[in-house]
Structure formats: structure tokens, C-alpha cells
Amino acid sequence: MIEQLMNLVREHASDTIINNPSVPNQHNEAAVSATTAAISEGLSKAFAQGQVGGLLALLGGKTTATNTNPIVSQIVGALTHNLTAQCGVSSSNAQSVAANLIPMILTKLAARTADPANSSFTLNGIFNHLSGGQTGSIDFTAALSRLDKDGDGDVDFSDILGQFGSSQNVAGLVGKLAGNFFNR
């Protein structure tokens, strides 16, 4: 998944990183790598913290990838730090790059997961990657199709609980997955 994510970042980083004078040309590849790492680590951290509903809504296209989304905001902050520390980009320029690039990449990622003709990203594949292979038996795509019952674009965590069983079962699964994630 990391390689596909890096390719997605490269596809859409031309204006924000490559053709941006605030990112030194010798650091373009490092900036692409830092962006990929910030997204991957941010999604993994959100999963480990039990933000399954938020991730499902974000990656399934049910929530807009804006800087006000807590998961997006966390990733923007991580990329801002990485661009400043690793690529010599000023803090204000790094914030601008991250605030523009992360929502765009996550929106493109959600669009690709929703496209049945594109198999590079699937909800099941992403969640299986985030869980270290522990969610292979859960069909996140089917769950997402049943979660927005009122059609307003949001997903309640209580709706997710209903899809996977009791809250104790889900809490146990999330706890086990988080434990496996941190013990790798």
C-alpha cells in the first residue's frame, strides 16, 4: 500500500511540492516521502486510537477531507513538522503545503477506494494494512454502504457498532488491533 500511496502523492504533488519555490528542488523527493509517511502514519495512528468510524467515513468518501477533520488535521500537523525538520521549508510555507496537499490526497484516495474499476486502493485493503492483517474477515465496503442511513453523509460510531456486534465485541477488536499494532 505504501508504494501505491507514494505514487498517488507523486501524481498530485506537482504544484504543491515540485513546482513550489518554497520547497527546495533538492528536497522534492524527500517532501514526497514525508507526505506519504505522514499520511500512512496518521491513518495508522487514528486506527490504533480506535477512530475506525472516522477513518471509514473519511476513506469511504462520506466525510469531506478538510483541515477541520481531526484525522486530517493531525496528518497536516505531522507533515508540517516533517517538511520543516527534513526539507528546510519554513514553518509557514510547510503549513501551507501540508494544508493544501493532505486534504487533496485524502480526497483522491477516497475517490479511488470508491471506484470499482480501480483496484489499487480498497477499503478492505487499507484497513487490513492498518491493522497488520487483523481485519481480513471484516467487509468494510459493505459496512460503509449501510452506515449512512439518513443520507446526510455522516457515519455514527453507534451505527458501526451495530454492524459488527455488541460494543464489547468492537471494543475488544479495536483493543486487540491496537495492541497488535503497537507490539509489532
Structural contact between residues 27 and 88, judged by C-beta atoms closer than 8 angstroms? yes
* Residue 176 in this model has a pLDDT that exceeds 90: no
42-91 pLDDT per residue, tens? 999 998 898 888 888 888 877 788 888 999 999 999 999 999 999 999 99
Taking only the tens place, the pLDDT of each residue in 107-159 is: 999 999 888 888 888 877 887 778 777 776 666 666 666 655 555 545 554 55
Task: Tell me the chain's radius of gyration from C-alpha atoms.
Answer: 17
* Residue 180 backbone phi and psi in degrees, to 5: -65, -35
Q: Are 164 and 173 in contact (CB under 8 A)?
A: yes
* Cβ atoms 78, 158 nearer than 8 A: no
What element of type H or E holds 5?
Answer: helix 2-12
Nearest to 83 by CA among 99, 107, 103: 99
Within 28-182, where are the H helices? Answer: 28-48, 52-59, 70-87, 91-114, 123-130, 140-147, 157-164, 167-182
- Separation CA 47–CA 141 (nearest Å): 16
Calculate the CA dihedral of residues 19, 36, 83, 80 and round it to 10 degrees. Answer: 110
What cell numbers appear for 10 in the block?
507523486
What is the grid cell recorded at 14?
A: 506537482
Per-residue pLDDT tens digits for 148-175 = 555 554 555 455 445 554 444 555 555 5
Higher pLDDT, 74 or 176: 74
